């Protein structure tokens, strides 16, 4: 069983929801990424998504765009991100780590080399933001051959046919994008998420995590009522940006711990 | 050559093209593809498109034989396809008319566009006014500063121009921002993409709308010269004017297809925009194609004297035409383009766009190596009025 599957099984047994936390590798400085990942895990994150900086982050809002610029200014590329994954894994054997990238850094390294090295570094899954299943059948097969889960996005605009196709190709968990928009958007509509999730649920036995636009503990808790987990990204990156290098770890912990508590306080409905 | 029927159903030109976008846009692109294929097969849509091109755009554009310049160069005869004579001054309007008609057919009342020099932005603002649509144009903040006249033209036409401050603050960032707008407003918004790049169906659709250029050339060349040209030459940034004139000639084996990229200050300096000559394949803006990128796959800043060629990617069909050997791609420097710009002004009385001057510059190199009965057909994709500031500044003249 993969680390991701094991973590979701463990959460389900406890009737708990997953807290998935994102940060951009190399922001605010390369040396801080591994400590920040550790801080997120310590504050209660169940799954960590580590963003690979890319010069043209088409799906990201201003917060993650700025984080990307800071990371690129330090010259952080995919090879350095793999080093960070390796260092994190040496320090934490249990917390699942997912690499989140745009397609081009992976193409530039070579897909085969990337999946081999990512698996060897101790990564557990991969999300390629701008690569829907239609374009990456071969890549997904290579990733799974190396034991990496292939996590795909679904969106409010996904049709029934697409939901089925994406569910077929997915492993680990399904990332449901809560809104039409970019990361860090501010128009989250929980009722809309509630209306869409049953179609996704019907198409896949995988856990469903909901992300985009979740900015605080209250929103996390409301969304978690509907799903198996929540993804928080821009809000964490914003904390890092506001804190600066010396305070960043303390700030993300202070932000994330109440989110964790809010998720755990929800009335127990038992594992599905 | 075997029958050319690319792209395939999912938008692939060999290994290039495709639909590399975030999930939220996949359905919108499927809708667009279905709507476009239906419109393409609809005689009424095609008739309205042709009618607009004739009466609003001013087509067909003529072909002009540069007798004086050809004689001075002392070799092949140079003919110009005069896309500079279109309404708004460039080939861009062929595509924006087509896409605006499609937007109207799909019931979308808001159109958005990216622009570099501003020509596609102006062409989009123009059709938005013509068809009564709301229009937002994304333009890199650096380009907004460099192209203030075009910014004002767009505003006169009723468009909102949004300066893009992210990334390198140029065309590629404007395209990113237009995509972000589209993903947010996907229900009521139609994205009028300006070149043969982006995700499927854009490379195919923009090529189809622009292929009116090459289609007109065939009977015109027959009438003017009694035969088809030996080579068709066009500048390539994203590559829409080149695809427009190349496409109808792909099946004509005797016709060389030559795309001319911007070598900027020289390929060796790294300050250029010659994607096909100096790049390697990758994924950007929704498709797989040649890109100017570093070892980590980060997209590089580009340079060209012509803002319209200043783009680190290129349409995926050009990538395929290069690999398959059907088309050749070369690059000319800022200096060479300027020299050709001046030559056309002084010898033929035509002020070309700096983009088109790249194609002219290569024609001027090639012509003297060929016999006088050879024919080079150059796509004069736009007029140079927009470039007065750039050219004057270069000569040390303040306007």
| Domain chopping of chain A, boundaries | 3-265
Q: How far is B161 from chain A (nearest CA, A)?
A: 19
CB A28 within 8 A of CB A248: yes
Q: Looking at CA atoms only, how far is residue B184 from chain A in angstroms? A: 4
Q: So what's the architecture of A3-265 in CATH?
A: Alpha-Beta Barrel (3.20)
pLDDT, residue A267, reads: 61
Contacts of B311 in chain A (CB under 8 A): none
The 10s digit of each residue's pLDDT in B113-153 is 999 889 999 999 999 999 999 999 999 998 898 788 899 99
Full DSSP string of B170-225: SHHHHHHHHHHHHHHSTTTEEE---SS-SSTTHHHHHHHHHTHHHHHHHHHHHHHH
d(CA A265, CA A220): 12
Contact A107 B281 (CB under 8 A): yes
pLDDT tens digits for B276-300?
999 999 999 999 999 999 999 999 9
> DSSP 3-state assignment of A9?
helix
Cβ contacts of residue B219 below 8 Å, gap of 6+? none
Express each pLDDT in B69-104 by its tens digit.
999 999 999 999 999 999 999 999 999 999 999 999
Confidence check: pLDDT of B1 > 80: no
Q: How sure is the predictor about A239, in pLDDT bands with cuts at 50, 70 and 90? A: very high
pLDDT band for position A271 (cuts 50, 70, 90) = very low
Q: What is the pLDDT of residue B167?
A: 86
pLDDT digits (tens, 9 = 90+) for B243-267: 999 999 999 999 999 999 999 999 9
Burial grade of B393 (CB within 10 A; 0-12, 13-18, 19 or more): exposed
pLDDT for position B232: 99
Residue of B303, B305, B304, B282 lying closest to B294 (CA atoms): B282
Q: pLDDT grade, residue A97 (50/70/90)?
A: very high
pTM, whole model, 2 decimals?
0.97
| Alpha helices in chain B, H assignment, sequence order | 23-40, 43-52, 67-73, 92-105, 119-131, 141-146, 148-156, 171-184, 202-210, 212-225, 240-246, 275-278, 316-324, 334-343, 354-366, 388-394
Which residues of A lie closer than 8 Å to B, measured between beta carbons? Answer: 53-59, 61-62, 65, 69, 72, 77-79, 102-109, 129-132, 134-135, 152-159, 162, 166, 177, 180-182, 185
Report the DSSP beta bridge partners of residue B286: B20
pLDDT class of B174 with cuts at 50, 70, 90: very high
pLDDT over 90 percentage in chain A: 94
Question: What mean pLDDT comes out for the span B212-224?
Answer: 98
Residue B398 has pLDDT above 90, yes or no: no
Mutate to test the interface with B, among A74, A79, A132 (most CBs of B within 10 A): A132
Alpha carbon distances (Å) from A19 to A118, A205, B276: 22, 19, 45
The answer to whether B113 and B191 have CB atoms below 8 angstroms apart is yes
pLDDT at A270: 47
CA distance A59 to B390: 34
CB of B102 within 8 A of CB of B110?
no
ipTM of this complex: 0.94
> Given this model, what pLDDT does residue A269 score?
52
Question: Mean pLDDT for chain A?
Answer: 95
Pairing verdict, β B16-20 and B286-291: antiparallel
- The average pLDDT across B304-316 equals 94
pLDDT of the residue at B350: 98
Contacts of B191 in chain A (CB under 8 A): none
Alpha-helical segments (H) within chain A? 3-14, 33-42, 62-73, 78-91, 103-109, 111-121, 137-145, 160-169, 190-203, 217-224, 234-265
């Amino acid at each position: 069983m993969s680390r991701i599957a094991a973590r979701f099984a463990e959460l389900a047994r406890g009737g708990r929801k997953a807290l998935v936390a994102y940060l951009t590798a190399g922001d605010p400085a390369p040396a801080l990424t591994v400590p920040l990942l550790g801080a997120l895990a310590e504050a209660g994150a169940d799954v960590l998504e580590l963003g690979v900086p890319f010069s043209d982050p088409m799906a990201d809002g201003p917060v993650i765009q700025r984080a990307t610029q800071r990371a690129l200014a330090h010259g952080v590329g995919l090879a350095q991100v793999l080093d960070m994954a390796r260092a994190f894994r040496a320090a934490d054997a249990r917390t699942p780590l997912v690499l989140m990238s745009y397609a081009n850094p992976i193409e530039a390294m070579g897909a085969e080399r990337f999946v081999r090295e990512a698996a060897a570094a101790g990564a557990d899954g991969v999300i390629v933001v701008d690569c829907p299943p239609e374009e990456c059948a071969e890549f997904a097969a290579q990733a799974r051959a190396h034991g990496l889960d292939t996590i795909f996005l679904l969106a409010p605009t996904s049709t029934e046919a697409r939901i089925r196709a994406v569910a077929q190709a997915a492993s680990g968990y399904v990332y449901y994008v809560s809104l039409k928009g970019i990361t860090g958007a501010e128009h989250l509509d929980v009722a809309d998420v509630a209306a869409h999730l049953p179609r996704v649920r019907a198409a896949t036995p995988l856990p469903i995590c909901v992300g985009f636009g979740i900015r605080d503990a209250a929103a996390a808790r409301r969304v978690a009522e509907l799903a198996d987990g929540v993804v928080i990204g821009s809000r964490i990156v914003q904390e890092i940006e506001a804190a600066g290098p010396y305070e960043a770890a303390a700030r993300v912990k202070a932000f994330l711990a109440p989110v964790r508590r809010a998720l755990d306080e929800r009335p127990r409905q038992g594992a599905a | 050559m075997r029958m050319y029927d690319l792209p395939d159903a999912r938008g692939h030109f060999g290994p290039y093209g495709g639909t590399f976008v975030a999930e939220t846009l996949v359905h919108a692109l499927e809708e667009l593809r279905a709507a476009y294929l239906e419109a393409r097969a609809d005689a009424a849509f095609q008739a309205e498109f042709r009618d607009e091109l004739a009466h609003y755009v001013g087509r067909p554009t003529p072909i002009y034989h540069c007798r004086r310049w050809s004689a001075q160069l002392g070799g092949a005869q140079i003919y110009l396809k005069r896309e500079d004579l279109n309404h708004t001054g460039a080939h861009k309007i062929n595509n924006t008319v087509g896409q605006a008609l499609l937007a109207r057919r799909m019931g979308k009342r808001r159109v958005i566009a990216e622009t570099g020099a501003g020509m596609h932005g102006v062409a989009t603002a123009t059709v938005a006014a013509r068809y009564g649509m709301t229009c937002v144009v994304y333009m890199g903040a650096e380009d907004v500063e460099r192209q203030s006249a075009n910014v004002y033209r767009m505003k006169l036409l009723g468009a909102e121009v949004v300066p893009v401050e992210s990334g390198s603050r140029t065309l590629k960032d404007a395209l990113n921002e237009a995509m972000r707008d589209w993903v947010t407003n996907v229900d009521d918004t139609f994205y009028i993409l300006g070149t043969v790049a982006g995700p499927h169906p854009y490379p195919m659709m923009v090529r189809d709308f622009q292929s009116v250029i090459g289609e007109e050339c065939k009977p015109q060349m027959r009438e003017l010269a009694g035969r088809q040209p030996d080579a068709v030459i066009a500048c390539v940034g994203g590559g829409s004017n080149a695809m427009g004139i190349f496409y109808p000639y792909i099946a004509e084996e005797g016709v060389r297809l030559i795309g001319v990229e911007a070598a900027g200050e020289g390929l060796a300096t790294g300050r250029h925009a010659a994607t096909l000559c100096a790049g390697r394949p990758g994924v950007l803006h929704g498709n797989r194609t040649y890109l100017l990128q570093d070892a980590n796959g980060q997209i590089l800043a580009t340079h060209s004297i012509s803002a319209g060629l200043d783009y680190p990617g290129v349409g995926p069909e050009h990538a395929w035409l290069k690999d398959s050997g059907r088309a050749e791609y070369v690059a000319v420097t800022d200096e060479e383009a300027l020299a050709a710009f001046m030559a056309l002004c002084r010898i033929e009385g035509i002020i070309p766009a700096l983009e088109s001057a790249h194609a002219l510059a290569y024609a001027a190199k090639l012509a003297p190596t060929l016999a006088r009965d050879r024919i080079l057909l150059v796509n004069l994709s736009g007029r140079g009025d927009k470039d007065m500031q750039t050219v004057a500044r270069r000569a040390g003249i303040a306007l």
